[in-house]
Amino acid sequence: MDELIRTNNAVVLSLAQSLLKDAGIAHLLADQNMSIMEGSIGLFPRRLLVDSDEITQARRLMVDAGLGDELWDG
């Protein structure tokens, strides 16, 4: 799996997940349980992961939806 987005912004993650689901692109939200260890203060970013064979389509989908600035380039 490849990292698509890394952010603390729950709204961005929710929108991105909804777009991916509607497009039929398999994805996984990683690090969502880190809030237990950090005390729910949003210190650690969550990572939205996509299957490697669908990363190009997922990135294009995010750009088309106006989320291009949120894409992870690391």
Query: How large is the average pLDDT for residues 28-52?
Result: 79
What are the strands of the beta sheet with 27-30, ordered from one edge? 2-7, 46-50, 27-30
Which CATH fold topology does 2-70 show?
Alpha-Beta Plaits (3.30.70)
65 Cβ contact list (under 8 Å, min separation 6): 15, 16, 19
The yes-or-no verdict on residue 63 having pLDDT over 70 is yes
Q: How confident is the model at residue 39 (pLDDT cuts 50, 70, 90)?
A: low
Q: How far apart are CA 72 and CA 24, in angstroms?
A: 21
Query: How large is the average pLDDT for residues 36-58?
Result: 83
The residue that leads in pLDDT, 41 or 60, is 60
Query: How large is the average pLDDT for residues 57-62?
Result: 98
Q: How far apart are CA 72 and CA 58, in angstroms?
A: 12
